[in-house]
Amino acid sequence: MNPETVTSAPPACAFPRFDNTYARELPGFSVPWQPVPVAAPRLLVLNEPLAAELGLDAAALRGPAGAAVFAGNQVPEGAEPVAQAYAGHQFGGFSPQLGDGRALLLGEVIDRAGRRRDIALKGSGRTPFSRGGDGRAAVGPMLREVLVGEAMHALGVPTTRALAVAATGEWVLRDERLPGAVLARVAASHLRVGTFQFFAARGDTARVRQLLAYAVARHDPDLAALPEDQQARRFLERVARRQAALLAQWMGLGFIHGVMNTDNMTISGETIDYGPCAFMEAYDPGTVFSSIDHQGRYAYANQPAIAHWNLARLAETLLPLLHADADAAVAEATAVVDAFPGWYQAEWLPVWRAKLGLAEDGAQDQGDIRLAEAWLRLLQEHAVDFTQAARALAPAAAGDEAPLRALFAASDGGPAGIDAWLPRWRARGLREAAALRAANPRVIPRNHRVEEALAAATAGDLAPFEALLAALRRPFDDDPALDRYAEPAPAAVTAAYQTFCGT
């Protein structure tokens, strides 16, 4: 280890003041722990826009001091690193103890907008929750978190975000030997459905109660004064509504999370853990990319149902707080959980109205749902690219159907495939083309582009990663310079595409 990198502390002004409520107010919910220093920290990415939001001194963090902090060799002043405890249903099977096996919450800061944000490291070494794992992460999967998280943010989707990635100068052993990296991740909080499950599974109602109070104070402070039973019910409802909104956004973008285990579902409503995630190309509701999702549990079209299932698991943890009488508690929980499909549908419809550019005037729920479903059926029948087709609706709304017809022309059905749908769509009354462009991105993290960038970065060349990241930050831009990022992969590439957890 290079002693210089271990001792070079960042200037005191580099980080704003930490205020670590999780470590302070919830002893027993985590284990105080230190990152394991690495051989040769080197900063690969510093997210300057996010650093600015947090009030961080980006210039001070750009140098070796920043590399030391983000690699875990130097704990910033005021941070109190902890490994958080959580449980989780993984592919439907319950693991009573998961926890931060390769992550540490450094602490919380208040950002420039007054919001409390967690700063955590991922890949920072073994912890008491590591089980068989090495506590480490590889460069590729950590840069993938940067790419997809920043893309989601630019697309307006609630998400955790990468603040930095530091290379460790060490190898990690997966199927092959890969360069190691540590990710610094920012989140509204790291509270998960699985955090509640950890204590509920142990019958520790006192700690579930404490966790509820903490979560409410942090995410739903307007519920803080309510009596506990009402608070628990309203909190469950809030989490469900946030997830309904999130899932509707994912579905509108063709985003497939890939591993919607209950430990990967946040209370805040932010997307978390960009492991085996991928974006749909040609529309097919059954799309699965994850190599370990053999049953298609987390297939594109199953995601809202899985969110519903996960919320039922959260509801179970709250039963003792919902009502003193067990049957009445189940009835309360069921009423909220059963409302989820309706809330999801209520979020889905405006997403699709915006995507199809349907005017406010003449909005008619059943008719609009049928129009959107007919659109999706057409995309599926003709195996048309989900993102490109929606983007082509903007010129079509302005009278130029050529880009949309060209997409269908390339399919078996030929350009006539869209003939019957277009007059129905026009008859409904449309918004301006600009509104359609703002609702339908041109640039998303295309799987082949992500892989190309990560492979180059793993081999030491960050240029393709940086170019892709810059493109993903302008998802609605028509700049022809972004053309190569807007094109789908060849169908044969997509058909064989698999993603991995990167653990």
Q: Would you name the residues annotated as active-site residues?
A: 263
Q: Look at residue 48 and give the partner it binds from ligand AMP, Mg ion, none, a contact being a CB closer than 5 to 8 Å depending on partner kind.
A: none
Residues 365-404 that bind ligand AMP (CB under 6 A): none
386 vs 493: CA distance, rounded Å:
16
273 vs 260: CA distance, rounded Å:
9
Under DSSP, the state recorded for 501 is: -
Q: Given the complex with ligand AMP, which of 190 and 241 has the nearer CB atom? A: 190
Using rule CB under 5 A, residue 264 touches Mg ion: yes
Residues 272-311 that bind Mg ion (CB under 5 A): 273
**Looking at 264, 317, 387, 411, which residue binds ligand AMP (CB under 6 A)?**
264
Residue keyed to tokens 């057409």: 378
Choose the binding region for ligand AMP from 130-138, 294-302, 310-318, 342-350 (rule: CB under 6 A): 130-138
Q: Look at residue 108 and give the partner it binds from ligand AMP, Mg ion, none, a contact being a CB closer than 5 to 8 Å depending on partner kind.
A: none
Q: Look at residue 463 and give the partner it binds from ligand AMP, Mg ion, none, a contact being a CB closer than 5 to 8 Å depending on partner kind.
A: none
Choose the binding region for Mg ion from 36-44, 259-267, 428-436, 475-483 (rule: CB under 5 A): 259-267
Ramachandran sector of residue 361 (left: φ over 0; alpha: ψ -120 to 50; beta: rest): beta
444 vs 147: CA distance, rounded Å:
10
x/- track of binding to Mg ion for residues 206-245 (CB under 5 A): ----------------------------------------
Ramachandran sector of residue 383 (left: φ over 0; alpha: ψ -120 to 50; beta: rest): left
Q: Given the complex with ligand AMP, which of 65 and 183 has the nearer CB atom? A: 183
Using rule CB under 6 A, residue 135 touches ligand AMP: yes
Using rule CB under 6 A, residue 35 touches ligand AMP: no
Query: Are residues 337 and 277 in contact, defined by beta-carbon separation less than 8 angstroms?
Result: no
x/- track of binding to ligand AMP for residues 265-284 (CB under 6 A): --------x-x---------
The helix/strand/coil state of 85 is: coil
**Looking at 27, 32, 133, 490, which residue binds ligand AMP (CB under 6 A)?**
133
161 vs 410: CA distance, rounded Å:
37
Q: Look at residue 144 and give the partner it binds from ligand AMP, Mg ion, none, a contact being a CB closer than 5 to 8 Å depending on partner kind.
A: none
Choose the binding region for ligand AMP from 56-64, 131-139, 248-256, 472-480 (rule: CB under 6 A): 131-139
Q: Look at residue 98 and give the partner it binds from Mg ion, ligand AMP, none, a contact being a CB closer than 5 to 8 Å depending on partner kind.
A: ligand AMP
The residues with which 270 forms a beta bridge, in sequence order, are: none
485 vs 462: CA distance, rounded Å:
16
Query: Are residues 381 and 416 in contact, defined by beta-carbon separation less than 8 angstroms?
Result: no
Q: Total binding residues for ligand AMP by CB under 6 A?
A: 17
| Cα within 13 Å of Cα(283), Cβ side | 24
Q: Given the complex with ligand AMP, which of 35 and 101 has the nearer CB atom? A: 101
72 vs 122: CA distance, rounded Å:
10
Query: Are residues 165 and 123 in contact, defined by beta-carbon separation less than 8 angstroms?
Result: no
CA-based nearest residue to 485, from 466, 460, 501, 458: 466
Exposure string for 117-126, b = 16+ CB within 10 A, e = fewer: bbbbbbbbbb
Residue 28 burial by Cβ neighbours in a 10 Å radius (0-12, 13-18, 19+): exposed
Using rule CB under 6 A, residue 173 touches ligand AMP: no
Choose the binding region for Mg ion from 265-273, 366-374, 395-403, 441-449 (rule: CB under 5 A): 265-273
Closest approach of Mg ion to the CB of residue 261, in Å: 7
195 vs 99: CA distance, rounded Å:
8
Output the CA angle 226-86-343, nearest 5 degrees.
50
Q: Look at residue 275 and give the partner it binds from Mg ion, ligand AMP, none, a contact being a CB closer than 5 to 8 Å depending on partner kind.
A: ligand AMP
Residue nearest Mg ion, Cβ-based: 273
- The residues of the shown chain that bind ligand AMP, judged by CB under 6 A, are 98-103, 129-130, 133-136, 264, 273, 275, 501, 503
